[in-house]
Structure 1
């Protein structure tokens, strides 16, 4: 298949000495034999899995192996060969199949992606804590960091992906990949500027506002649990909405939100913490993984 060959070509370019390319090619061919499931089939199989039906469990796993590849290929070049990423993602898929509840009001793929990503990202953190990046990528990362700092000073807030991309003269997708590479593939204490003073930790979420490259993850999570926001009080819901830019994509600082409500930034922080704790409890009850940046 054309799509498979494109994936293999990228893998060969990133890892020219990778000896598992042939195995990867055979694997991609094999998993295409599995038929994708309809929503109704997912529900039926999920009920059977919950009752201990091993055949249903096996079919649900096999029917979603392509989903793992789709997620895993986003992490190519971050320290692990694609076949290793797929293996880690499959572990997450198996957990998702075992924990998925058919009464959930979402497709299985939406639920499984969180488990697949968590499994892959945990493997990257554990096995590739510090990765030596190509010179041009490292240069772009440093440039991106400088631009983020400059735009933050100019706007009085951290920029969104589109603003960083426009300033760099590249597409949003490339900026997002750079940000993921910074976050996943380097040590949090690795200097990112020539003066050895600016570290990855400086680009992460601070008490004052979320980091720009965590915004897409926050958005994805809240799309999944948007109906559960109604469990919050109107004030809590409004604070979370503004804090993470759920409507306009522009997260607000504690101070800005405090001015809107006529209270101190500390009061807004307390409301935010309480709201996130409540959401976290709901998601844990629903077996939804809380993304690392959202934990309180």
Structure 2
């Protein structure tokens, strides 16, 4: 992470913070071991274990190495006492950029500590640390040393807000509102606890009772937590076809229905031979025959140079002729 231009360390003027080398290793080990047991809420809190002999995924190894390097770098900066934080905050209010950088650097471990709690919520740890670092910078700018609050307590709120909003905005293909993400987090915790207690996936009613969330919201959360499937996804291992190629278009007519519709149009047009040219033209305007857009009597008459009353009389005469001359083919559609 520290070597990437997009990392929090590079973005924020080379910001890095505290720990000795040994402490960094211990802290990193704790970070990796304390992984959330809640995987995806939609899977009911189940976790997946690697198969024996399976090689670890390369992106995970790269991320862990990057985090280890980052922790070693932030270990160079010592923790601040409350008095030092207040002094730096006062200097920051006076426009001291050096004091601002020092306060940020000395609290980057807090960012990592908070970010690791959300590492299984759709964003990688590197991205979470970057977002949390932006929240830390905001906290440094907004902190008022004269109110008697501890900076770490104040900064925790800003860091957590930045991380959770990033998850809400960036972790999913379809954005889930922030308030729904808060409900999802609450349900994940209840879901994990119930899975351990019951030894199975809890029902929506059990989850609702344990979390205090209504059953309707629990069901909505289930739907919100599902990941969308791309229509460009491969349909099979040995096929170039995609899901879009094989999923039925429910708005389109089936082949037999399309054939029947075309045949009906043909029979309707054939039945118009008993009408005069003027009558056929009026019905064509009035009912949208031959692909036209249906029109009102007034519009149809205007196109033909007729008044509305003349158009009505012409329509009545044409329809009466059609009723008298309905053939056997048309009777099939009038049952």
TM-score by length of 2: 0.41
Larger Rg: 2
